[in-house]
Amino acid sequence: MTKCLGFWKLESTDNNWDEYMKAVGIGFATRQIGKRTTSWEELKQDGDVWTIDITSTFKNAHLKFMIGQEFDETTMDGRAVKSIFQIEDEKLVHYQKSTVVGVPDSVVVRERKDDTHLTVTFEAIGKNVKAVRTFVKQER
């Protein structure tokens, strides 16, 4: 599952990004910032321990986890979730279970498309809304 490892810069975001953010309860002001933010993701693995460092022009996040083990996460937009990562069909799948009643769960799928592109698909469970962000590989 090392296909997703590396340093990636956001290249494009599809037209559903705002709809996804709205579906998971993100307010107007934060959505406006989210639509205009450039970000980078660095995915690393050291034995059983994985890290994802997300750096943006707005906010940064550091996720450290083991595949299949649940942990508490505060998302970049401030949602409190119980997260678990799985590997499914060469994809790194991130399940986010909301801890707030009425806020839908999410699934975030990272998939290497070719030698230089990684897609990150966000889905609001039960809301029929998906958004895709495409990243391009960068040298460190």
pLDDT in tens, 15-56: 999 999 999 999 999 899 888 889 999 999 999 999 999 999
* Nearest by Cα to 17 from 97, 82, 96, 108: 108
pLDDT value of position 84: 98
Place of tokens 């550091």: 62
Q: Kindly state the tokens that stand for 37.
A: 């933010």
pLDDT in tens, 101-123: 999 999 999 999 999 999 999 99
pLDDT in tens, 57-84: 888 999 999 999 999 999 988 899 999 9
Cβ neighbors of 31 (< 8 A, separation 6 or more) are 18, 21, 22
Q: Inform me whether the pLDDT recorded for 2 exceeds 80.
A: no
